[in-house]
Amino acid sequence: MIDKPLDKLLMAHPRDIGESYGEHAGHAVYIGLRMIGAGFACLVHALLPGLFVRTASHTVDDIHDLMTRRSASTRLDEQAAA
């Protein structure tokens, strides 16, 4: 059994949203890499405005859609279990 502080640090949040540690880590890495890429595109866009004109905004929209779908799925799973 994992002790309480370690459980809170590693497992509580993934469990709260219905994911395993690995599933949560995978989603977080994917989203983080997308955000880093969008940030890089913004920096290039600042210097060369004709490049990456909508890259960051499209990335933000995609991430928002992904997180909204995951959140809705978690709520549906919780309702079904109740």
For 52-72, what is the mean pLDDT? 93
Any idea what DSSP says for residue 82? -
**Percent residues over pLDDT 90 in the chain:** 72
What residue spans define the domains of the chain? 53-82
pLDDT at 43: 97
Residue that the structure tokens 């709260």 belong to: 16
Provide mean pLDDT across the span 46-51. Answer: 98
pLDDT score, position 19 = 92
Q: How confident is the model at residue 76 (pLDDT cuts 50, 70, 90)?
A: low
Contact between 55 and 41 (Cβ < 8 Å) = yes
Cβ pair 10, 21 in contact under 8 A:
yes
Query: Who wins on pLDDT, 24 or 75?
Result: 24
